Copies of this chain bind each other. A is one copy, B any other.
Amino acid sequence: MTEISTRQDVMTLVNVITVDPSRCDELLEVLVNATEETIRRVDGFVSANIHRSHDRRRVVNYAQWTTLDAFNAMRSLPQVGEHLRQAAELAESFDPITCSVVHTTS
């Protein structure tokens, strides 16, 4: 379970990936496998939450890392690079946004 809270000392990645709807499920599989096989074991990983848009044209990963440095270090690992290449072959574009939680209401 992932918690969103201003009290957590984490950085947040919102990665909006655009994809042809016919390749959406394949892209989701690549991202889920990358998370389960590799990324969850990397130092600084907190959570990853993968979403499919209703029109199947976007996949959104809402992920948390302990620090921005830990997130950037993960991206340069060779074993992560292979997963990223697979995702890049399926996606039309990536828009990774690194951010902080400012306010929550629930």
Residues of A bordering B, CB below 8 Å: 1-5, 12, 14, 16, 28, 31-32, 35-36, 40, 46-54, 58, 60, 62, 68, 95, 97-106
Considering the complex of A and B, which 5 residue pairs feature the smallest CB-CB distances, nearest first? A47-B106, A2-B4, A51-B99, A53-B99, A50-B103
A54 touches B32 (CB 8 A): no
Task: Point out which of A3, A51, A95 has the most chain B C-beta atoms below 10 A from its C-beta.
Answer: A51
* Chain A at the B interface: SS class: strand
A58 touches B97 (CB 8 A): yes
Task: Point out which of A12, A31, A36, A60 has the most chain B C-beta atoms below 10 A from its C-beta.
Answer: A60
Q: Nearest Cβ distance between residue A77 and chain B, in whole angstroms?
A: 17
CA distance A2 to B12 in the complex (A): 14
Q: Nearest Cβ distance between residue A49 and chain B, in whole angstroms?
A: 5
CA distance A11 to B68 in the complex (A): 29
CA distance A60 to B59 in the complex (A): 15
Question: Known contacts A14-B14, A106-B46; is A51 also within 8 Å of B5 by CB?
Answer: no
